[in-house]
Amino acid sequence: MALNWVDYKTDVFVDWCPGCGNFGILVALQMALAELGLEPHRVVLVSGIGCSGKVPHFVKVYGVHTLHGRTLPFAQGIKIANPDLEVIAIGGDGDGLGIGVGHLVNAGRRNLDITYLIHDNGVYGLTKGQVSPTLQRGLKVKAVPKPNINDAINPIILAIASGYTFVARAYAYDTSHLKEIIKQAIKHKGLALVDILQPCPTYNDINTKEWYSGEDRIDPKTGKPIPRLYKLEEVGYDPIVHNIDEELKKKIGAIEKAKEWGDRIPIGIFYKNELVPTFQERIIKRIPFYLNNPPAKQRINDKEDHPLTSIDDFLKELRIT
């Protein structure tokens, strides 16, 4: 039976502020799951702490709402133990680029086949509006007394430098585009990061929906706003690494693109490279039957509860008589 996105809804009240960009992300995610026909019990959503961390409770798949900044360690543990699961990690920009950034970087070294969605709103929503690591220096958002003294992290560049093999950006209110990006991220073989620009109408009074739509700059000819966002796929940008020789060139191109900000902000896929072996493929090299009999599926005891593992190989080394 084909599933509809509403089949992925729980009846938990969605308690985000009215107009929050998270609503768009939630719907896009549910639509992506439905369109990919992923059976709910095979999907695990893992999240950190923040407004963004609540997503799993609203989606009728397995949900693991973890600690602030720790969404990736949990997600990786789940995926390594049971590679049959479709694991999607979710977190805020503070979660992933502040307190959890060490995990973000190191996950890139492993290239597990999971998807990581960052709700990038420039603020710490749930703690009432402090600046997040993606806010530009010099900007003062509503709730804080002074302009931001730190420079911003660019999630796209950091992800590429860390070894992510699929790096994209999308916009919370363009749900159909976001849904497509999420679908591609899930289908990608390897670790995928999607930086989702997510207006927070309550605390980020700078990068607002109106700002992204360019309502502050009306085209005198048409009388219409000039949007800040444009799609990479519409300007002929090719993010794919077709052969390993062009990896560096593609990375540099993607980083250059990712530097664009302000008047013109690209969204879409910046970088995609399926030539890097995934963590699972690396394990198979050492434990050949890993996918057929992964940790979560191995029988460890018999019907009488006696252990099934043989420790003979250990004992051979330890035996002295």
Binding segment (CB under 6 A) for ligand SF4, from list 33-41, 79-87, 106-114, 199-207? 199-207
Nearer to another protein, 73 or 266 (CB): 73
Q: Taking the chain, what is the end-to-end CA distance rounded to the nearest angstrom?
A: 63
Q: Would you give the binding string for ligand SF4 spanning residues 118-147, x where CB under 6 A is met?
A: ---x---x----------------------
200 binds ligand SF4 (CB under 6 A): yes
Token digits of residue 162:
């860390």
CA neighbor of 235 nearest in space, from 262, 265, 214, 255:
265
Element (H, E) at 93: helix 93-94
8 A C-beta contact, residue 171 and residue 212 = yes
In the region spanning residues 78 to 137, those forming contacts with Mg ion, defined by CB under 5 A, are 92-94, 121, 132
Contact flag: residue 22 with ligand SF4 (CB under 6 A): yes
Q: Interface with ligand SF4 includes 283 (CB under 6 A)?
A: no
The interface partner of residue 20, options being another protein, Mg ion, ligand SF4, none and the CB cut-off 5 to 8 Å by kind, is ligand SF4
Among 38, 64, 143, 206, interactor with another protein by CB under 8 A:
64
Count of residues near ligand TPP by CB under 6 A: 17
Residues pairing with 119 in the sheet: 92, 196
Helix orientation angle between 155-162 and 101-110, rounded to the nearest 10 degrees: 40
CB of 263 to another protein, least distance (A): 37
Q: Which of 33, 78, 90, 135 binds another protein (CB under 8 A)?
A: 78
* Of 276, 273, 292, 274, the residue nearest 284 (C-alpha): 292
Q: Are strands 43-47 and 86-92 parallel, antiparallel or unpaired?
A: parallel
311 binds, among ligand SF4, another protein, ligand TPP, none (CB under 5 to 8 A by kind): another protein
d(CA 247, CA 272): 10
Give the single-character DSSP code of 307: B
The string of DSSP letters for 227-268 reads -SEEEGGGGT---B--SGGGHHHHHHHHHHHHT--SS-EEEE
Q: How many CB atoms lie within 10 A of CB 209?
A: 15
Please choose, out of 2-10, 90-98, 165-173, 210-218, the segment that lies near ligand TPP by the rule CB under 6 A: 90-98
Tell me how far apart the alpha carbons of residues 46 and 232 are, in angstroms, rounded to a whole number.
29
In the set 5, 82, 209, 255, which binds another protein (CB under 8 A)?
82
Cβ pair 40, 5 in contact under 8 A:
no
Q: Residues 10-49 vs ligand TPP: string with x where CB under 6 A?
A: ---------------------------------------x
Q: Which residues bind ligand SF4 (CB under 6 A)?
A: 16-17, 20, 22, 51, 121, 125, 200-203
Binding site for another protein (CB under 8 A): 10, 12, 39-42, 44, 46, 49, 54, 56-57, 60-67, 70, 72-78, 80-82, 84-85, 102-103, 105-106, 283, 286-287, 289-290, 292-293, 295-296, 298-302, 305-315, 318-321
